[in-house]
Structure 1
Amino acid sequence: MSIKLYHNKLSGPARVIRIIIKLLNLDVDEIEINLSTGEHLKPEFISINPFHVVPTLVDGDFTLWESRAILTYLVDKLAPGSLLYPADLKARATINRWLYWDAGTLYATLGAYYGPIFHGGSLVPEVAEAFKVKAKDLDIALEATKYIAGDSLTVADISIGVTITLASAVGIDLDNLTNVNRWLKQLENDLPQSVWFSLLVEPNKDLGQFVKSKVLSTMVIQLYHSKISGPSRSVRVLIKLIGVKVEEKEIDVFAGDNLKPEFTSINPFHVVPTLVDGDFTLWESRAILTYLVDKLAPGNSLYPADLKARATINRWLYWDAGTLFTLLVTHLETIFRGNSPVPEAAELFKTKAKDLDKSLESTKYVAGDSLTLADLTISVNITLASAVGIDLSNLTNVDRWLKQVESDLTSETWSTLVIEPANIVHGLIKDKITS
């Protein structure tokens, strides 16, 4: 009766056993268990192992789980006397020490770091730091030995090698551990290339990507905004358009919320919109627009990967930031500060809007034949300009384009994030002028 190994291809402990099987050319029947579909929880598997974990070994009427116990059992049964787990009492005790250390310290810490994401939680940075401390202990130990347990490759190297490479794959930086990295290169040289890649490199890469996707799905990006801010609204329009999960937090700039320590600690420039994505903070609406598409909707036609298309969109975004929006702000800020309107700024805005109108003679949208980020930000500013009294009614192409953008957005998005806030600003401007 053949020995059976129930495993999962991404499971680190299961891969440890499969490496030993390859190294010693053992006759073991490998049966994959799909953890993501819950095969380990089905009665057929629970009847084999009530603890429903992989790896699980079945040798006739004997069932064994826990990878390190399986490692030593397989060598003793199928390759007795192998240097991977020698018969010498002291050598064996040294290997056992490292196996227990891996189980109870190194791998246990790694599991505490990334395990929570499989249950709706997040990575735990403090635990990653604890792992680094333990790995540093290993690095010190490796100053005196070629391998973990001495001068020859053993099952301790296989088990801990999988743990260390897995840690790197899920984002724990161990590049500064000189001895550990020297030892890993030695381990790579000792294993057949096919084994190293198929049971270490490739599964680690897949697991790393899986963990990253889990982290992204649980991490909530935060957007600090003002409901009347044009730049804030262009970002909020994008969020609606691509249907991504972003937690929106309103900042009352008129009450000075943007100047309070709670906000200036996030953004010393105290402006909205401000995006917080984990430990990354970003302000400037157009930078936020491009970042959100690249991160959450890569390849979207709103900001395509094509170099020339992207450069064209960027051109219009910079033109908006440095020309159109700047003139609009000059016009509005003068009034909000209690001064009279500046007709020259409004007239210059009209001139620039006329340039846009001329450009739109040959294209359906600002940057070509499809809706892009350039349309979102510029349309918000054009509608705001009209709302606060800058007459653009003679711009036929601009008017046609605005109707097209309106039809591309949901009526609710257009109304609540474009028209209504612009009208609120108009009311504020009117009150300021009247007072």
Structure 2
Amino acid sequence: MDLYYLPFVSACRSVLMVVKALDLDLNKKILNTRKGEQLNPDFIKINPQHTIPTLVDNGFTIWESRAVAIYLIEQYGKDDSLYPKDPKKQAVINQRLYFDMGSMYPSLANYYYKVFVTGQFGSEEDFKKVQDTFGFLNTFLEGQEYVAGDQYTVADIAILASVSTFDALDFDISKYLNVAKWYENVKKITPGWEENWQGAQDVKNARIAHSNRTRTRNMDFYYSPRGSGCRTIIMVAKALNLELNKKQLRLTEGEHLKPEFLKINPQHTIPTLVDNGFAIWESRAIAVYLVEKYGKDDSLFPKDPQKRALINQRLYFDMGTLHDSFIKYYYPFIRTGQLGDAENFKKVEAAFEFLDIFLQGQDYVAGDQFTVADIAILSSVSTFEVVEFDISKYPNVARWYANAKKITPGWEENWEGLLQMKAMYEAQKTSAK
């Protein structure tokens, strides 16, 4: 009895658990569909549809996991408990098996498995179908212990394989009370659960590995380590565990004005991100985009409209007030050796006074949690430190700054970029003397 399978595939895992429940021995033959092994001529002779799992039992060939499972039970089961002979019970079991194939698996594939093709999950509508599917399953389980009635059957095994895959991919099953209760029970009583769970973990690990490869390969980041906005993105990427394909542009040599870069960003500014063909610039827009697309949760940019409004206000404050004051007072010195005028310095002080007020009685710049606004403003405030602005005059800012440096991923790289700016600043001071 040969079984062609891949532990990664939930349908294959359901057959393995049925085999375990029947205490059968199989000659397992792994067929790696991700490498196209199912298209080998030898396998196509066995199964012209070239799908797994495929069972060959003494010359008899059958595929489609639910058909394989029922065949094994009817051929080798010591009794009919996993697939009762009663027509009504069989009808309910069959309905649940078709539900698994026609609803559960498609919702899994359409939302979660898209990451293997596009590098990201499916649409909100795809996720809604996942939720609907679990809602149906929750209804099926109302007032009963098993998915097809009052006894444990092959339907429980098949649906367990699917639900455990959702679990491994971090879908919150706890919201569906009947499903959660059933799931905890069948994990304990189903033979072969451990092997099934290992296969489900393989799915999770493959998703993470694929996402990391996609992010690294397709995400080009045009930047300068000295730029405040560029350093913001470096810290945001670090917080999201993203790898950027960094492409440094030397503005002093006019590299941002080259035709090939102007095609990407006609405004010829940095930072500029190109994510799998999608180009976006302006650091705060990039930061929010990365958080919304790649964040594991919404903590850095919460979905709550009021929290978002406050974060957005702080981001606009950073661009239009805090960073702007640096540009007008300190930046001329780096270029010409002359600081801005007294009026410009008052704008620096006013910006820090505003920020000090924002931080009164709170740990973070936009409320009670660390967000993308803290990262952006940290980049700006740290820039003022290297030009010797006295941050200590603003106690709330100083307290926040000391903490933000400790907790923000990527701070060290941010500081390395600032040291390059500081070297330019010190060289200009020496030259001015």
Matched, 1:205 2:207: no
SS in 2 for 1:30: strand
Superposed CA deviations along residues 323-353 of structure 1, whole A, max 9, x for unmatched, are: xx999668426889973698999xx967799
Contact 1:225/1:232 (<8 A) preserved: no
1:381 maps to which residue? 421
1:39 maps to which residue? 37
1:101 maps to which residue? 99
Superposed CA deviations along residues 313-332 of structure 1, whole A, max 9, x for unmatched, are: xxxxxxxxxxxx99966842
2:275 maps to which residue? none
2:287 maps to which residue? 274
> How far 1:82 moved relative to its partner?
2.3
Q: Single out whichever of 26-35 and 157-166 deviates more from structure 2.
A: 26-35
1:61 counterpart letter in structure 2: G
Residues 340, 211 of structure 1: CA spacing in aligned structure 2 closer, same or farther, 3 A cutoff? same
Higher Rg of the two aligned structures: 1
Deviating 4+ runs (over 4 angstroms): 219-229, 233-239, 246-254, 270-273, 325-330, 333-338, 340-345, 348-353
> How far 1:141 moved relative to its partner?
1.7
Equivalences for residues 320-331 of structure 1 within 5 A: 331=329
Query: Given the two structures, how large is their TM-score scaled by the length of structure 2?
Result: 0.61
Contact 2:6/2:12 (<8 A) preserved: yes
Query: Given the two structures, how large is their TM-score scaled by the length of structure 1?
Result: 0.60
> How far 1:271 moved relative to its partner?
5.0
2:341 maps to which residue? 339
Equivalences for residues 174-213 of structure 1 within 5 A: 174-192=173-191, 195-199=192-196, 201-213=197-209
Cα distance in 1 between the residues matched to 2:266 and 2:175? 42
Q: 1:231 aligns with which of 228, 233, 250?
A: 228
Contact 2:386/2:422 (<8 A) preserved: no
Structure 2: runs of 5 or more not aligned: 248-260, 270-280, 301-322, 349-384, 391-411
> How far 1:276 moved relative to its partner?
3.1
Matched, 1:165 2:205: no
Residues 45, 246 of structure 1: CA spacing in aligned structure 2 closer, same or farther, 3 A cutoff? farther
1:9 maps to which residue? 7
SS in 2 for 1:36: helix
1:244 counterpart letter in structure 2: L
Equivalences for residues 355-366 of structure 1 within 5 A: none
2:244 maps to which residue? 244
Cα distance in 1 between the residues matched to 2:154 and 2:268? 62
Cα distance in 2 between the residues matched to 1:131 and 1:34? 27
> How far 1:281 moved relative to its partner?
8.7
Cα distance in 2 between the residues matched to 1:45 and 1:272? 50
Cα distance in 1 between the residues matched to 2:96 and 2:139? 14
Task: Give the number of equivalent residue pairs.
Answer: 315
Structure 1: runs of 5 or more not aligned: 255-265, 288-324, 354-371, 395-435
Residues 127, 44 of structure 1: CA spacing in aligned structure 2 closer, same or farther, 3 A cutoff? same
SS in 2 for 1:76: helix
Equivalences for residues 41-190 of structure 1 within 5 A: 41-79=39-77, 81-120=79-118, 122-125=120-123, 126-190=125-189
Where relative contact order (Cα < 8 A, 6+ residues apart) is larger, the structure is 2
SS in 2 for 1:139: helix
> How far 1:119 moved relative to its partner?
3.5
